Amino acid sequence: MVPPEVESRVAPPLVNCPECDSMLPQGLGEIECLLCGAVCRVSHAPTVAALKEEKVQCPHCMTVVEAGTDKRPADLTCAACSKIFTLTRKIVKVEIECPSCESNLRIRPRPGKRELTCPGCQSSFFVTF
């Protein structure tokens, strides 16, 4: 049986590559830039502390459980009911304004250039992170 998942509310900051200024894959530690291959050390002490101290509700019995680790995803065992659940990484979304109709789109940023289609006016445009 796959343990139920709870999405973390804490996310590492979005960081740009110091070499080519494109967005790095989200995470902490040694992160490799997908565009230029530079390996960058990303550290952010407040995020690490917040990840370790994050409290989530056990989806089985609703008891509050402290994560105790800065890893995401992390398998946690509830102290009250001894059941396992997975604390997944937070999915970060950013708001992009459509250049044609100025409506806001909420998307998941991914490194590099990609084409988006605005659901409001159907026009396509490119975004680069």
Residues that bind Zn ion (CB under 5 A): 17, 19-20, 33, 35-36, 38, 58, 60-61, 63, 78, 80-81, 98, 100-101, 118, 120-121
**Beta carbon of residue 64, minimum distance to Zn ion (angstroms, whole number):** 10
Pick 49 or 112: Cβ nearer Zn ion: 112
**Beta carbon of residue 73, minimum distance to Zn ion (angstroms, whole number):** 18
Measured CA angle at 126 (ends 123, 127), to 5 deg? 125
Pick 16 or 48: Cβ nearer Zn ion: 16
Pick 17 or 51: Cβ nearer Zn ion: 17
- Please give the helix or strand (H or E) that residue 49 lies within, else none: helix 45-53
**Beta carbon of residue 10, minimum distance to Zn ion (angstroms, whole number):** 21
Is 22 buried (19+), middle (13-18) or exposed (0-12) by CB count in 10 A?
middle
Contact yes or no for 31/24 (Cβ under 8 A): yes
